[in-house]
Amino acid sequence: MSIILAIFTFIVLSLLFLFLTLSFLIIKSYSGKSFKDPSYPPVKDIATDLFGQGIFIVDGEKWRQQRKLVSFEFSTRVLRDFSCGVFRRNAVKLVKTVYEFAIADTVFDMQDLLMRCTLDSIFKVGFGVDLNCLDGSSKEGIEFMKAFDDSNALVYRRFIDPIWKLKRYLNIGSEASLKKNIKLIDSFVHKLINTKRNNLAARQDYNQKEDILSRFLVASQEDPGKMNDKYLRDIILNFMIAGKDTSANTLSWFFYMLCKNPLIQEKIVQEVKDVTGTGSQEKEINVDDFVANITEETLERMQYLHAALAETLRLYPAVPVDGRCAKIDNILPDGFRLKKGDGVYYLAYAMGRMPYIWGEDAENSDLKDGLTTEFFNLNHLSNL
C-alpha cells in the first residue's frame, strides 16, 4: 500500500510541477517580456534561430555595420547591372511559363509562380547561383525553397504559441519541424559559401564579384574573425527574406488590382506599347527582344505604370504592420509614456485607407477614374 501511495504522490507532484512550469511560461510570454531580460521583449529570441545575427534582428553596431556594407555594395554600378540582368532573364522565363498556361487554357497559382520567380532572382543576386525553382528542374532548389518558406511560417507562429520554448527544448511538434528545416537551410547555404570561396580563390580575380556573397567574401578578408561563414549566412538569408516575399506579394496584389480594373490594365498596356515602340507592330513580338529593350530610361517614362504600382503599395503594403522597440524610457509627441522594452507598432495597411489622409474614396484606386499621373504624383505620393 505504501508503494502505491508513493507512486501516486510522485505522479501528482510531477504533474503539479509541470502545471506550474507551463503556467509560468504562459504568463511570461503573454506579458510580452523576455525570460533573460524582463525589460526587453522576446522578439529576438523568436526569430534568431532562422535569421541569426542578420540586419532584421541585431541592433547597435552590428546593425550599422551591415547597413553600411549593404548600402555601399548596392550603390555600385556592377551590382546594379548584374541584378537588372538577372531580373530580366527571370522575367522572360516567367512570361514564357504563363504563356504556356494560357495556350493550354490551364488554371494556375499566380502568387506561387511569382514566389518562385523572385526567389530565383534574389538567390542569383545573393549567391550567384541559379536555383531554378520556377521551372522545377533543381531538386535541391525546390527542397531549399520549401524549407525556407516553412521555416519562415513556423518562426512567426511562435508569436501565438506560448509554449514554443518548451517544444523546442523537447524537440517536438512544430519546433522539431523547424529544427529540421533550418538544418537543411544551413547545410545548403554553407555548401554554397564554401564553393563560392573556392571559386574566388581559384580565379584570383576579385574584380568579378558580381553577386552579394562574392562581395561579402572579399570584404570578410579584412576581418575574418567577425565575418565568418555563420555571419555571412545570416546576412544573405536576411537579404533574401527582404526581397523575396515583399516583391512577390506586391506583384500578386498588382495583378489582382489589374483584373479588378480592366480600364487601368488597358492604359498600362498602351503606355508600355507607346514607350517601347511596339504598339504599331502587327506581328507577334518576341519576348526576349522585348525585355532586352526595357532600360532604365524606358522604365522612367512609364509613369502610369509607376503610379499603378504605387497605388498597389498604398492599398496592399508589402509590410502591412511594422514596429519598433523602445531602447530607453521615452515620451511620444502626444504625451504617451513608453518604458524600456515597450513595443510600438504602426499598421501601414490601415494608414493607406484612412479617409482623412486619402479622401472619402480611400479604399479605391484613384486611377480608375482616369485621373492623370501628374495629379496622382502631386496629391498622393506627397502624402507618403
Average pLDDT, the chain: 79
**Domain locations along the chain:** 2-31, 40-260, 263-317+352-384
pLDDT at 27: 47
Which stretches of the chain score pLDDT less than 70? 1-44, 73-74, 203-210, 279-283, 365-384
Helices (H) and strands (E) in the chain, counts: 17, 4
Q: Phi-psi category of 158—alpha, beta or left, where left has phi over 0 and alpha has psi -120 to 50?
A: alpha
Cell 521583449 found at: 41
Question: Under CATH, to which class is 40-260 assigned?
Answer: mainly alpha
- Closest listed residue to residue 317, CA positions, set 243, 259, 246: 246
Alpha-carbon distance 138 to 253, whole Å?
A: 28
Percent of the chain with pLDDT over 70: 79
In angstroms, what CA-CA distances link 100 with 6, 92, 106, 121, 356?
72, 12, 9, 21, 45
Amino acid letter, 86: V
pLDDT at 162: 86
Q: What confidence tens digit (pLDDT) does each residue in 139-173 have?
A: 888 888 889 889 988 998 888 888 888 899 899 99
pLDDT at 154: 92
